[in-house]
Amino acid sequence: MKQENKKYHLHKSSATFTIVAIELIFWSIFYISIEYLTINVKEFRFQHPTFLWTFLIIPIINIVWWTNRSWKNKALHKYASYLVINNIHNGFSNTRSILKFILFRIAIGLLIISLSNPQYGENERTVESKGIDIMIALDISKSMLAEDITPGYNRLKIAKIGINKLLDKLQGDHVGIVVFAGEAYKQLPITPDYFVAKLFLKTIETQMISSQGTDIGNAINQCLTSFDFERETNKAIVILSDGEDHEKQAIEAAKIAADSGVVTCTIGMGTNKGVPIPIFKGERKIGNVKDKNNETVLTTLNEENLINIANAGGGTYTRANGLDLQLKKIMERISKIEKSTLKKERYSTYDDQFQWFLIPGLALLIFNLLISEKRGNFEDKIKLFKNE
């Protein structure tokens, strides 16, 4: 090829040599570094080793670059003769073209390594989880279907919304759930997993217990049996009910709980205005609950009973107001209970080293963009590229 035409031709031989050389150098350095770190630095690891599979795109990058050089040669020669091209295009710089590829190839390698996040410098830490054990007792008697707090929401639905909010406010405490009507059952054992507690809460409905009535005393006793008193943790019971207790044993049960070191708080669900208890068939309301004389049964909030239970249990009472259960008072009382160490966890942390590869990789990409592979007039004048 004539000397004056060389500047319009990107050499395939130099491209092939560059690809082979840079891959040998890169992979040799990479392999030796990994071997050294693996043997001499026990804490060394890749946090996301699967990202190393991204190196499979490197052969594709090499093939694309080599093919692109061949295409440029053919496209430029097909476009016009050398005499015409010389007047409109100053030619290619093989040196610049190869330098751009080297910068790009190394940058891609560094970015892939940064994605996998090399780490070393293991630190062992101990984290203590402090809190109390809390049993939530939820009234699911038929009277909880009354809609007297907020239109469109029955007492039970508002109570469940409030429990969700309570779970969001807790930090480090363990919770369990007891449901009650005429009888009481443990719905969820004590757990630190609030997500699981919310899942169980969604399934709670009034038809879960066929025995009707409201036995708050039995609910408190069921909560007490749910606690593990061998664990030296402080404990509390939160009762959500309309307070219509038909068994009259709740105050005594709250006193027994207090003697065992368990604080009992109550939340009133309802209003002092008597409202009917709806009957549903599926999702459709078919009437209201009636007594033996065919009179509509009205349900009201027995606030006095709930206040007495809270006082006997050394806790506090609050009352639902719309969709707000006034949880601030409950949380203030719970926060006064001394929190115990519920769990100690030891885990290892590693120092991230990705930045040592990310920053140079991005810098090389920027340099690559700033370099043009076209020859400049300055290069012709100073004759630095005699072979191009």
Lowest-pLDDT range of 33-37, 174-178, 213-217, 243-247: 243-247
Residue 295 has pLDDT above 70, yes or no: yes
- Quick one: pLDDT at residue 79? 59
Half-sphere exposure of residue 26: CA atoms within 13 angstroms, side-chain side: 19
- Looking up tokens 């049960």 gives 253
What mean pLDDT do residues 296-302 have? 90
User: In this predicted model, which residue has the larger pLDDT, 6 or 319?
Assistant: 319
**3 state DSSP class of 77:** helix
- Residues 83-132: tens digit of each pLDDT: 555 555 555 677 788 888 889 999 999 999 999 999 886 666 655 667 88
- Looking up tokens 């071997």 gives 35
Beta bridge partners of 118: 46
69-to-13, 63, 75, 270 alpha-carbon distances in Å: 11, 10, 10, 80
Domain 128-345 is found in CATH 3.40.50.410:
yes
- Quick one: pLDDT at residue 37? 85
pLDDT over 70, % of the chain: 82
- Quick one: pLDDT at residue 382? 42
- Quick one: pLDDT at residue 347? 55
- Residues 129-143: tens digit of each pLDDT: 678 899 999 999 999
State how far Cα 220 lies from the chain centre: 35
The Cα 378–Cα 380 span in angstroms is 5
CB 237 within 8 A of CB 264: yes
Torsion angles phi and psi, residue 292, rounded to 5: -65, -25
Half-sphere exposure of residue 25: CA atoms within 13 angstroms, side-chain side: 9
- Residues 343-383: tens digit of each pLDDT: 555 555 677 889 999 999 999 999 988 887 666 554 444 44
DSSP 159-224: HHHHHHHHHHH--S-EEEEEEESSSEEEEEEEES-HHHHHHHHHT--GGG--S-S--HHHHHHHHH
296-to-26, 56, 149, 293, 337 alpha-carbon distances in Å: 86, 76, 19, 9, 44
- Quick one: pLDDT at residue 246? 63
Q: Where are the domains of the chain?
A: 3-117+353-382, 128-345
Specify the pTM: 0.58
- Quick one: pLDDT at residue 343? 59
**Secondary element (H or E) of residue 384:** none
Of residues 45, 61, 49, 69, the one with CA closest to residue 108: 61
User: In this predicted model, which residue has the larger pLDDT, 81 or 97?
Assistant: 97
Lowest-pLDDT range of 1-10, 42-51, 248-257: 1-10
The Cα 143–Cα 300 span in angstroms is 9
What is the chain's mean pLDDT, rounded? 83
- Quick one: pLDDT at residue 269? 94
Torsion angles phi and psi, residue 198, rounded to 5: -65, -35
